[in-house]
Amino acid sequence: MTMQSSIGQSPLGRRGFLVSGATVVGGFALGLHFPFVGPAEAAEAQEIDAWVVIHPDDRVVIRIARSEMGQGTLTGLAQLVAEELECDWSKVSTEYPTPGENLRRGRVWRDFSTGGSRGIRGSQQYVREGGAVAREMLIAAAAAEWKVPAGECKAAGSVVTHAPSGRTRRYGELAAAAAKLEPPRRVALKDPKDWTLIGKPVKRLDTLDKLTGRQIYGIDMRLPGMLVATVKACPVFGGKIKSFDAAKVEKMHGVKKVVSIDDNAVVVVADTYWNAHTALEALPVQWDTGSFGRLQQEAVTAMLKDGLGAGEAFIGNKAGDARAAIDGAAKKVEATYAFPWQYHGTMEPMNATALYTPDKCEVWCGTQNGEAALAATAEAAGLAVARCDVHKLMVGGGFGRRGRTDYVRQAVLVAKQMPGTPVKLVWSREEDTTHDQYHPTTMCKLMGGLDADGKLVGLHVRLSGQSIRASLAPQSIRANGDPGVFQGFTPGGQESAYGYEVPNLLIDHAMRNPHLPAGFWRGVNTNQNAVYMECFMDELAEAAGQDPLEFRLKMLKPKHTAVLKAAAGRAGYGKPLPVGHVHGLAQIMGYGSYVAAIAEVSVSGDGILKIHKITAATDPGHAVNPAQIERQVAGSFVFGLSAALYGEITVKDGAVEQTNFDSYNVMRIDEMPDVDVALVPSGGFWGGVGEPTIAVAAPAVLNGIYRATGKRVRELPLMKHDLKKGA
């Protein structure tokens, strides 16, 4: 199948669709470098299967459905395909198919959504098969040409060799014939022991353009005749526009149009962002802040506290009789923890560019979920999905935020009011901070019972607070509650587990949903649940008179034990440290990977916390790219510790109080601890690596702070606490 014939398979075709952007809307020369091959090359480049395109000069283009947002999935997925394809890695590049093309081709690239650390683990099987199918087709083409059995031919380094005769053919020479063959129905994947590329710390494929300013992110999108818009939504979620006076700003420099979208946001469209922003700041708007307009943070706290003692709760995990075991225990321990709302703070604020005409709508944006962005585009445009498409651009930080489509919807609603004119909608940092879909806020009350030997015999964990599902899909919440709130509070399974054997257990959740929308935030519910569990484990260990490591190891399951021991051994846990330095530890299994952290911290007499070093261990089963995994682990500490130190969103009169990085601080390089990563892949399973380590960052440091100061910090962020002696 050639590029030409693949166009013939769908009404618009692959390249045909992109070109149609120029034809349908009346002569727009898009002037963009799309990753897809140009029309001149299309006759030459051969699509072997949906995942693999080969050029006559042996260049290999691997199609990537998931979104690259820094986590390295683009490189890792390409490694998986290339491993089976047996191609020359130095000739590999990548491209994104569009979600519209995916639908037209029967979802041949399957799931575009990029979250839950699923990029590799969720697609490894079928992308490796995609590489293997292409390899078999190339071998079959060579065998047919030589009239020899395919079994006598081998592929390696983009060359097929017929061993008995010594004949060779390059992939570029075979591609045209291979593309015409019927793909094999079944292919055998390589045994992990034969991998040559999976497991290698190869460099990322997307670095060079990020060093020279050439990389185009959503916010850098430019189209001929494009205007730039910026938006201000009602400061209080659930509120509406009462009135606005467009005439006051319509004559300002560069302003083209002042509009409202839905019933809750005003937008200025201008020639440049600055002119749009200046006019929007000057635009008089009256808001109807609605029923939450007088809501204060104290009321949110009271709401969550109420859930801690509520009679009704949704049971997540239960074993034996926790209450009876705790009542009859020799020693009881009880503690209450609290975790605030947190802001995603992607470096690139939300933005999308839309071009609407009455019969077609196209969007260019960074998104973690191309297919959801396409659905949002069609819905907002009021057009059939087949008449819309989304072109994914590089994502300047996602962290879960760009799985949502609110900003895509807004861009289309603005563009719809200016048919034929491309409009780039860019949020200010202030809009981004105050209209996020925040990390859910929760509280947790834990009660544990120890027997006379200091063994944990009963544990009751009561969670209270926000459910992401209730925010995303309230109709799906009925009496059953939201099982997602127990992420990391499950004893075992494939997805997340705390890993301890506890004979009598009750973990339940009282749902309390304040008005700020909750969303997936890198690490999601493992983040706070690991703080609750791992800090409480230290409290229990102390009550039992045991070392926190020893106490844990008595109850931990094997894979959890292995990573915790690996980290402890590497950090020199239990051995002498510099004066004033202490170790704090934490572990969890999240997103299918086992992780542990040992934080080396000190707290000075006047309360200055210093995180000197974090030693981490990760068992992701198969480690596709150790260098990138190490970067994800180190980066996860930055993300997790930024939140632990500073991350807190609060409300006043119903509106978010923090507006930018001056009121919502994050970690800089001067606070970055040394991070030492032990990668201990045990094989046999595929775990994610973008998120799990975030969960152990905060509890390891909090446990260290207690050892250093005797102060239990049970409420984040740390900046609210005085760690000074005697304070």
Residue 244 interacting with another protein (CB under 8 A): no
φ/ψ of 289, rounded to 5, equals -75, -5
Task: Return the residues of window 440-499 that contact another protein according to CB under 8 A.
Answer: none
Contacts of 685 (CB under 8 A, 6+ apart): 494, 592, 621, 622
Residue 257 interacting with another protein (CB under 8 A): no
Q: Residue 1 in 3-state DSSP?
A: coil
* Candidate residues 151, 669, 684, 710; the one interacting with another protein per rule CB under 8 A: 669
Identity of the residue, 268 or 394, whose beta carbon is nearer to another protein in the bound complex: 394
Q: Quote the tokens at residue 90.
A: 């130095």
Identity of the residue, 259 or 279, whose beta carbon is nearer to another protein in the bound complex: 279
- Check residue 347 and report its DSSP letter: S
* Candidate residues 97, 403, 635, 717; the one interacting with another protein per rule CB under 8 A: 635
Q: Which stretch binds another protein (CB under 8 A): 293-301, 334-342, 460-468, 668-676?
A: 668-676
Residue 273 interacting with another protein (CB under 8 A): yes
- Please, what sign has the CA dihedral across residues 321, 325, 327, 328? positive
Residue 399 interacting with another protein (CB under 8 A): yes
- Closest contact distance (angstroms) between CB of 294 and another protein is 29
- Closest contact distance (angstroms) between CB of 390 and another protein is 19
> What angle (nearest 5°) sits at the alpha carbon of residue 35, between those of residues 34 and 40?
75
* Candidate residues 153, 228, 378, 609; the one interacting with another protein per rule CB under 8 A: 228
Task: Return the residues of window 534-573 that contact another protein according to CB under 8 A.
Answer: none
Residue 215 interacting with another protein (CB under 8 A): yes
Q: Which stretch binds another protein (CB under 8 A): 98-106, 284-292, 308-316, 393-401?
A: 393-401
Residue 581 interacting with another protein (CB under 8 A): no
Residue 204 interacting with another protein (CB under 8 A): yes
Residue 627 interacting with another protein (CB under 8 A): yes
Place of tokens 């009859």: 328
Q: Which stretch binds another protein (CB under 8 A): 140-148, 291-299, 525-533, 628-636?
A: 628-636
Residue 672 interacting with another protein (CB under 8 A): yes
Per-residue CA distances from 571 to 562, 583, 598, 616 (Å): 14, 9, 7, 9
Other beta carbons within 10 Å of 362: 30
Contact predicate 184/138, CB 8 Å: no
Q: For another protein, how many residues bind (rule: CB under 8 A)?
A: 61
Residue 222 interacting with another protein (CB under 8 A): yes
* Candidate residues 82, 378, 585, 634; the one interacting with another protein per rule CB under 8 A: 634
Distance CA 109, CA 43 (A): 22
Residues forming beta bridges with residue 230, ordered by sequence position? 268
Distance CA 393, CA 407 (A): 15
Q: Which stretch binds another protein (CB under 8 A): 426-434, 537-545, 572-580, 711-719?
A: 426-434
Identity of the residue, 346 or 405, whose beta carbon is nearer to another protein in the bound complex: 346
Q: Quote the tokens at residue 234.
A: 């009602």
Contact predicate 152/164, CB 8 Å: yes
* Candidate residues 43, 164, 224, 274; the one interacting with another protein per rule CB under 8 A: 274
* Candidate residues 281, 547, 660, 719; the one interacting with another protein per rule CB under 8 A: 660
Contact predicate 504/322, CB 8 Å: yes
Contact predicate 566/685, CB 8 Å: no
φ/ψ of 603, rounded to 5, equals -130, 120
- Closest contact distance (angstroms) between CB of 195 and another protein is 21
* Candidate residues 102, 264, 275, 410; the one interacting with another protein per rule CB under 8 A: 275
Contact predicate 601/611, CB 8 Å: yes
With CA atoms as reference, report the closest residue to 174 among 46, 50, 82, 85: 46
- Check residue 333 and report its DSSP letter: E
108, burial (CB in 10 Å: exposed 0-12, middle 13-18, buried 19+): middle
* Candidate residues 110, 240, 429, 581; the one interacting with another protein per rule CB under 8 A: 429
Place of tokens 């907002």: 380
- The alpha helices in 202-330, defined as continuous H runs, are 208-212, 273-282, 297-308, 322-327
- Closest contact distance (angstroms) between CB of 51 and another protein is 24
Q: Which stretch binds another protein (CB under 8 A): 117-125, 153-161, 392-400, 470-478?
A: 392-400
Identity of the residue, 147 or 668, whose beta carbon is nearer to another protein in the bound complex: 668
* Candidate residues 43, 302, 330, 347; the one interacting with another protein per rule CB under 8 A: 347
Identity of the residue, 68 or 101, whose beta carbon is nearer to another protein in the bound complex: 68
Residue 7 interacting with another protein (CB under 8 A): no
Backbone conformation region of residue 605, classed left if phi is above 0, alpha if psi is from -120 to 50, else beta:
alpha
Q: Which amino acid is at 352?
A: A
Report the interface residues with another protein, using CB under 8 A.
Answer: 69-72, 203-204, 206-208, 210-217, 219-220, 222, 228, 253, 271-275, 345-349, 394-399, 426, 428-429, 627, 631, 634-639, 642, 660-662, 666-670, 672, 674-675
